[in-house]
Amino acid sequence: MIEGKGNRESNDANPRVRFAPSPTGRLHLGSARTALFNWLFARGSVGTMVLRFEDTDRERSRVEYEKDILDSLKWMGIDWDEGPDVGGEFGPYRQSERLPLYREYAEKLYEAGIAYRCFCAPEEIQRRKEETIRKGISWRYDRRCLTLDDASVRRFEEEKRPYALRFKVPEMSVKVVDLLRGVVQVDSSEIDDFIIMRSDGSAGFHLAVVVDDITMNITHVIRGDDHLTNAVRHVMLFEAFGAKPPVFVHHSLLMGPDGAKLSKRHGATSVSEFREQGYLPQALVNYLALLSWSPGDEREIFTLNDLVREFRIDNLSASKAIFDFDKLNWLNRQHVKLLSSEELADAVIPFIESANLFEILNLPREKLIIAVESVRNNIEKLTDAIEPIRIYTAKPGDFSSKALEELKRSPDVRRALEICIDILGTEREADESAAEKIVEGMRESAALKDWKPKRILWPFRLAVTGSTVGPDLKFLIMFWGPAGCAERIRATLKVLDNLGI
């Protein structure tokens, strides 16, 4: 056992947690859920949230993926106290910038006889592995380099043969104490001597993670249960460095509806894809939190502040978490309902921009808000607003073929439209109350003529919008104004004149 540099102590009152993604792809929903659990635990317990990038995979790590992770977390409302973009006392926060530290810790293990040089070439190990498996024997590194004589070592050194450093796994029973799963006990005979420093000079995953957790004073490690087997190796390294292991919490993985790990074949899997598809961040966060966590009652709608206040790490479940797209859609609709008109407009604007609906974008803000509010009931995802909102780009006197046929078939259509013009009047603006009174006036006029309300309201909709579908009539009056609606009806009457109706 050797002494590490960290001053780490488990402190439940002020925990330090970390989210450590690899920037080798866009932020996966499963990783986002892990980040959320860490963040909720930290924010609910006056703790510290650390973000660090495990970017030692030189071939697959990309700057654009790092940016996607940062942007996706911020979009979800997750922030951090220390990280590559904000700095902190225990940086740097990219593993690629911490290699001297890893070499220092690896050298200590080597000097203590807890690690040894492995001169085996990867292709040589692969050949021996295949031969062993062909004989029906399970493969573990055969420790060939552990017993090399001095002459062989000198010869390899003279040849400048590359070597890796392997951790010499001790004979012992390894205990991983997990908050959700209790004590997981593994005999070390099941684990081969793993690489802690690669032959190219880069750190192995296990060493880098443990050194980072020690030197960053991490007290709690909350991650997916696919890391449970890694935790066995990590416990051995913590103990080799004379450090107390953190509190482990290995939550369940995110599964698709078929029970298999959530992947592309199930649909979108990255946070940015769900953002692009029109999901609200608060809905996605709400749903991810409910996958493996429960407040203890039947509530399902939570804001981020609600979650911070009520989340408890010991309420997590180890059971499988099945991702249900229909349930997410339902939650998104509920969160859309909670938005004010202004908030909904701001949320929809990026999708209006993507659809190049400049006629809508260039509207005065109050008109844009009315347009978006009028299609609220159509919205399950924010992208659902785009098609119905196009109705506000229609030019006076332009009709769909179906709308025109409906106008032709409407009885007393000219008289109905003239009544609408009289009721609308000359006011340029109308608030919701005034618009509702105008619609009610149309109903009353129909009743006075012993007509059903539709006999006036239907031609009104067709004339003003040029379509057979659209928002509630009050929104049309609020958007175009009473006088504006009247002008659109007059344009329709000219069309009817040209058709001889």
Active site amino acids: 264
Helix (H) / strand (E) element for 220: namely strand 220-224
Query: What is the C-alpha separation between 150 and 175, in angstroms, rounded?
Result: 36
Phi–psi pair at 261, nearest 5 degrees: -55, 135
CB contact at 8 A, 50 and 17: yes
Tokens of 120: 């085996």
Helix (H, G, I), strand (E, B) or coil at 78: coil
- Rounded to an integer, what distance in angstroms lies between the CA atom of residue 429 and that of residue 415? 24
User: How many C-beta neighbours within 10 Å does residue 472 have?
Assistant: 16
Amino acid at 313: I
Q: With residue 165 as reference, give the H or E element that holds it.
A: strand 164-167
**Identity of residue 265:** R
Which helix (H) or strand (E) segment is 185 a member of? strand 182-187
Beta bridge partners of 167: 115
Closest CA to 348 of 312, 383, 375, 300: 383
- Conformation bin of residue 60: beta by default, left when phi > 0, alpha when psi is -120 to 50: alpha
Residue type, 317: S
Q: What share of the chain is helix, strand, coil (3-state, %, to 5)?
A: 55, 10, 35
Residue 82's DSSP bridge partners are 50
Beta bridge partners of 183: 177
Q: How many residues does the chain have?
A: 501
Q: Kindly list the distances between the CA atom of residue 481 and the CA atoms of 459, 478, 488, in Å, as whole numbers in the listed order.
A: 17, 5, 11
Q: Is 259 helix (H, G, I), strand (E, B) or coil?
A: coil
CA separation for the pair 483, 342 (Å, rounded): 25
Angle 96-101-104 from CA coordinates, rounded to 5°: 135
3-state secondary structure at position 92: coil
How many CB atoms neighbour CB 259 within 10 A?
Answer: 8
| Alpha helix (H) residue ranges in 449-472 | 454-465
Distance CA 285, CA 372 (A): 24
Give the DSSP H or E segment for 347.
Answer: helix 341-354
Instruction: Report the SS3 class of residue 232.
Output: helix
